[in-house]
Copies of this chain bind each other. A is one copy, B any other.
Amino acid sequence: MERQYPSAALERAVGEFAKLPGIGRKTALRLVLHMLSRPQEEVECFGRVFSTLKQDIRYCRVCHNISDSDVCEICSSPGRDSLTLCVVENVQDVLAIENTMQYRGLYHVLGGVISPVDGIGPQDLQIDSLVRRVSEEGIREVILALSPTMEGDTTNFYISRRLNGKGVRISVIARGVTVGNNLEYADEVSLGRSIVDRTPFI
């Protein structure tokens, strides 16, 4: 049941929060009432930050990650392996992989995956610039690190076809059982892949 709010301004603010993913109208109301209990300057500051968000955020012109400078810190770091590219969907994935401390190459942020259902085709993603980087920068290996979903797989397939014949090694992140979980809880597909893709025991 849609609740009736006693004020249009309240309705508007709740509606704005409720547009965000994972926030329902009940949570939205709680957030708005919390803001009303805060000092005016704090709430104004909140509004200001989002009014100019799209203008304030800039992207690295090389890897398309969010960045304060024209070329991001990772792309301009001399200590990284500039001949390896890890292809990811978005900024969160860069952060997640950086947190593992297991990767020292560069990234390429696609900005999504191919998803005909959502109307996202290859031309909506940073795939042309990936192909260009591979040719121009003499990349040796492209690691595809997209989500293990149908859309991710489709995108992997499309990219590998586009890179075909460019003399670059293409790999995909390993799929298998998750570390620390009991084997009996692993899903069949991952467990199957973990057997097919087994690695030598050192």
* Chain A residues with a Cβ under 8 A of chain B: 1, 3, 5-10, 12-13, 16, 19-23, 27, 29-36, 40, 43-58, 60, 65-68, 72-74, 90-92, 94-95, 99
Contact B50 A34 (CB under 8 A): no
Min CB distance A126 to B, Å, is: 14
- CB contacts (< 8 Å) of A66 on chain B: these are 5-7, 10, 36
B residues in contact with A34, CB < 8 Å: 20-21
- A91–B33 touching, CB < 8 Å: yes
List residues of chain B with CB within 8 A of the CB of A53.
Answer: 9, 13, 32, 35-36, 43, 47
Give the Cβ gap from A78 to chain B, nearest Cβ, in Å.
Answer: 17
Q: CB distance A47 to B43 under 8 Å? A: no
Chain A contact surface mostly: helix
Residues of B within 8 A of A92 (CB): 29-30, 33
Contact between chains at B20 and A31 (CB < 8 Å): yes
Q: How far is the CA of A48 from the CA of B43 in the complex (A)?
A: 11
Contacts A48-B51, A54-B43 given; indicate if A91 touches B13 (C-beta within 8 A): no
Interchain CA distance A105-B87 in the complex, whole Å: 62
Cα distance A57–B60 in the bound complex, in angstroms: 40
A7-B67 in contact (CB<8A): yes
